[in-house]
Every structure is written in structure tokens, then in C-alpha cells.
Amino acid sequence: MIPIAHVLALSVALFVIGAAGFVFRKNIITVFMCIELMLNAVNLAFIGFSRYLGNLDGHLFVFFVIVVAAAEASVGLAIIIALNRNRDSLNIDDLDSMKM
């Protein structure tokens, strides 16, 4: 029905767009959202393959990905709030204290 190649092509496209945003955007929250976009792309790939192979395990993977993404988002945003409180900046380039 829906060709698997097209599903994967969509997945890849979303992933690359997300990566582009990660590399090129400055605002932390935007970058975070791009990460979520990449996760979703991966989810789509899982579902596509699950349909293609007739195996339900892919759905379970997606389930867990969503759960972990939720946890990650909450903790991540909390960190961003704390950072903003200390640095008063949402610019990712300002967060470079972990350098050599």
C-alpha cells in the first residue's frame, strides 16, 4: 500500500531538517525542539518498518521513545530554566564552560 521507501524518505527528510536546525539555530529551546523533531523522525521509521515486517515490536519501541522523550523534555527544560536564571541568556554559544 504505502511504499516503505517513501515512508523512509519522509523520515530521513524530517531527520535531516531536525539536524539542520540543531546545527544552525542559536536559541536553546529551538534546538531542543529540533531534537524532538529528530526523535519523531525515528519514530516514523520504526512504525514504517513495523508495518512492513508485520511485527509489533516497532510499536513498543516507539512507545518507549515517547516516554523517554517526555522525561527528557521535562528535565531538559528544567535545566534550561536554571541556566537562564544564572546566565540570563538563551544563546547556545554562551554555554561553553566545558572547554579545555
Q: Which of residues 74-93 bind other proteins (CB under 8 A)?
A: 74-75, 77-82, 84-85, 90-93
**Would you count residue 4 as binding other proteins (CB under 8 A)?**
yes
* Non-local CB neighbours of 20 within 8 Å, separated by 6+ positions: 34
Dihedral Cα 45, 32, 25, 81, nearest 10 deg: 180
Cα 97 to Cα 23, 75, 78, 91: the distances in Å are 19, 20, 19, 13
**Which residues in 18-47 contact other proteins (CB under 8 A)?**
18-27, 29-34, 36-37, 40, 43-44, 47
Whole-number minimum distance, CB 27 to other proteins, in Å?
Answer: 5
Q: What's the min distance (Å) between Cβ of 69 and other proteins? A: 7
Number of residues in contact with other proteins under rule CB under 8 A: 78
